[in-house]
Amino acid sequence: MNTPLKNRYDFMLVFDVRDGNPNGDPDAGNLPRVDPETGRGLVTDVCLKRKVRNYVQLSKTVEGGKSMTGFDIYIKEKAVLGRAHFKAFSDEGIATGEASQKEIPKELESVFEEISLPDGLSIDLDTNGERQMLVVAADADKKAIQQWLKDELPPKDAITLIKAALKDAKPRKPTAQETERGKERMCKDYYDIRTFGAVMALKSAPSCGQVRGPVQMTFARSVEPIVTLEHSITRMAVATEAEAEKQSGDNRTMGRKHTVPYGVYIAHGFVSAHLAAQTGFSCEDLELLWKALTDMFEHDRSAARGLMATRGLIVFKHDSALGNAPAHKLFELVQVKRKTDPAKPAREFADYEIIIDSAQVPAGVTIDAKI
């Protein structure tokens, strides 16, 4: 059941990190991100959305490793985005190319019988039912087939025939109406597209247009300036024989690790009912988002990230789709303050408190502290 979203929402996410790197900067040697002017720590919106995607993928995976219908993830590890585009058009019955076929010479028929062809290639009979034909499907992923040729290395004559058939298979650009159908299909199949949006224009695959997602998030910023520590670490092994000989068998490798001793971060988010109607983002999808924001750190553990946890998720629900108060006014009603001496470094969440001024919440807005 997909219940349409009728209300605007704004939310605040409060989380902390202890002895970990919440979001390393690859352009700065993976140091924790810091605002150079204020010294406050930063975590990008991209990092937070990655954790939401990972949680949804994990929670909606069924037996066999496949995602439940409607809850696949578009931007995920090792994904080939073009395949999703071709699948969307194929599922909608929209041709993205013209099929081609080449007659298989008699001396190669036995060769092709022994080859396990990839998706997009098949063997069929000609119209007279006499000769075998190598068929390239209209929606075949040419790059995937070319990679298969490199990996599998079939006989040279078979490679030549397959390449000739691929050359004859012509791509077809979908019409504007068909592109719109492809975009709607992508929103239907992929949770992260209908939630966060996506730019789905690829050179290697038919375009599915651009989707502006109903859920948007800001960078998270630490409540107080953070300190970044650098630790030397030692691995009691080396990678090569040459390194072992150079160290006369001592076999040690030195490295560096960066952490934040402790920090509390706040991120802000927004949910648009109007954009939700365009992508199909439902009330059930919203509940899954709240669940992901609450539990995402529990399933994203690593030594590098230390101890991270969601400490607060404060949701403002408006009585209308347009909203009943400016978001920044609502956010000002929530403060995360120190309970202990601010002159001393904080090292646990007990040093802070979340204060919500519920008495000042405007008419038409309800507040829900989910944590």
CA–CA distance, 304 with 273 (Å, rounded to integer): 37
In order, the DSSP letters of 220-283 are EEEEEE---EEEEEEES--SSHHHHHHTTT---EEEEEEEEEEEEEEEEEEE-HHHHHHHT-BH
Residues 273-306 have pLDDT tens digits of 999 999 999 999 999 999 999 999 999 999 999 9
- In this prediction, residues 325-348 reach a mean pLDDT of 95
Each residue of 75-131: pLDDT tens digit? 998 888 988 998 999 899 888 877 888 999 999 999 998 899 998 899 998 888 889
What whole-number percentage of the chain has pLDDT above 70? 98
| Angle between the N-to-C axes of helices 106-113 and 156-168, in degrees from 0 to 180, rounded to the nearest 10 | 100
For the chain, what is the mean pLDDT?
92
What number is the average pLDDT over the span 310-336?
Answer: 97
Lowest mean pLDDT among 131-145, 190-204, 330-344: 131-145
Chain centroid to Cα 346, Å, comes to: 33
- Give the confidence band of 33 by pLDDT, cuts at 50, 70, 90: very high
- C-alpha 331: how far from chain center: 27
Average pLDDT over residues 336-343: 93
* Gyration radius (Cα) of the chain, Å: 27
pLDDT of residue 246: 77
Is 141 in contact with 119 (CB distance < 8 Å)? yes
Closest to 162 (Cα-Cα) out of 97, 98, 101, 95? 101
Q: Where are the domains of the chain?
A: 9-44+219-369, 97-171
